[in-house]
Amino acid sequence: DGGITQSPKYLFRKEGQNVTLSCEQNLNHDAMYWYRQDPGQGLRLIYYSQIVNDFQKGDIAEGYSVSREKKESFPLTVTSAQKNPTAFYLCASRKGHLTSNYGYTFGSGTRLTVV
């Protein structure tokens, strides 16, 4: 079955460390997204990519970096510059780009905790 796989499910990071969250999809979707969700809050956009080798900053990109070298993969790196990284990170994809005719498919998320 097609879907989005995020790993790991839980991640613990020491202060000052960079960590990378994996997101892989086999839906053949063009667009991919990273959102951050804090407890009891909505989803805030970190980065998005409409096509391979291209990505744009979202509303809260500071302290994060991404790459899109393959259509299937959109890893997110949480750098030491992100002052409050503890959150639930959700990766999503959508069929097509530059179109809003489709819903997002979300991965099951990664819970990142700074220790």
Partner 1 sequence: GQQVMQIPQYQHVQEGEDFTTYCNSSTTLSNIQWYKQRPGGHPVFLIQLVKSGEVKKQKRLTFQFGEAKKNSSLHITATQTTDVGTYFCAVDSGSARQLTFGSGTQLTVLP
Provide the binding-site residues for partner 1, judged by CB under 8 A. 31, 33, 35, 40-43, 45, 48, 50, 56, 58, 90, 92, 97-109
Nearer CB in complex with partner 1: 16/42: 42
Task: Return the number of other C-beta atoms located less than 10 Å from residue 33's C-beta.
Answer: 22
Nearer CB in complex with partner 1: 80/88: 88
What is the rounded distance in angstroms from the CA atom of residue 115 to the CA atom of residue 105? 30
Q: How far is the CB of 18 from partner 1 (least distance, A)?
A: 24
**DSSP 3-state percent helix, strand, coil across the chain (nearest 5):** 0, 50, 50
The whole-angstrom distance between residue 18's C-alpha and the CA centroid of its chain comes to: 15
Q: How far is the CB of 50 from partner 1 (least distance, A)?
A: 6
Q: How far is the CB of 104 from partner 1 (least distance, A)?
A: 6
- The DSSP 8-state label assigned to residue 74 in this structure reads -
Nearer CB in complex with partner 1: 84/100: 100
Please, are residues 75 and 66 in contact by the beta-carbon 8 Å criterion?
A: yes
Q: How far is the CB of 22 from partner 1 (least distance, A)?
A: 15
